């Protein structure tokens, strides 16, 4: 699910991994395997750092997968934009907002 949430920020993800936004799915929650889609997109990146670091041969993650995904999530991911696409993310954010602030 987390990969679908990241893909839901289509423009941010496209810019970060250096692919045309037209390649990013409009409804990532409907994907049978969002992680494989994310890896395939990274494999088509114009950035060698993304291509070689995030992906490995076949449908596997590369050695920098976690680092780059965490970097995107913490520095470039627009949660508000992603919420407009992802119903489950919108629900999760609403539930988190209801938690007590102790």
Domain contains 102: no
- The single residue listed with the structure tokens 């490995």 is 56
Domain contains 29: yes
Q: How confident is the model at residue 98 (pLDDT cuts 50, 70, 90)?
A: very high
Give 65's contacts (C-beta < 8 A, 6+ positions apart): 53, 54, 55
How far apart, in whole angstroms, are the C-alpha atoms of residue 40 and residue 74? Answer: 22
pLDDT tens by residue, 54-97? 999 777 899 999 999 999 999 999 999 999 999 999 999 999 99
pLDDT tens by residue, 6-58? 999 999 999 999 999 999 999 999 999 999 999 999 999 999 999 999 999 77
Domain total for the chain?
1
Both tokens assigned to 56: 């490995």
pLDDT at 101 (0 to 100): 83
**Which pTM was predicted?**
0.92
Domain contains 55: yes
Domain contains 64: yes
Going by the DSSP 8-state scheme, the letter that residue 27 receives in this structure is -
Q: Which helix (H) or strand (E) holds 14?
A: helix 10-17
Both tokens assigned to 46: 């114009």
Domain contains 92: yes
């Amino acid at each position: 699910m987390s990969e679908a949430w990241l893909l839901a920020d289509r423009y941010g993800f496209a810019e970060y991994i250096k692919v045309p936004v037209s390649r990013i799915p409009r409804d990532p929650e409907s994907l049978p395997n969002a992680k494989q889609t994310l890896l395939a997109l990274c494999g088509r990146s114009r950035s060698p750092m993304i291509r070689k670091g995030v992906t490995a041969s076949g449908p596997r993650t590369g050695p920098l997968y976690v680092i780059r995904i965490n970097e995107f999530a913490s520095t470039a991911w627009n949660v508000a934009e992603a919420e407009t696409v992802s119903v489950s993310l919108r629900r999760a954010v609403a539930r988190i907002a209801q938690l007590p602030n102790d």
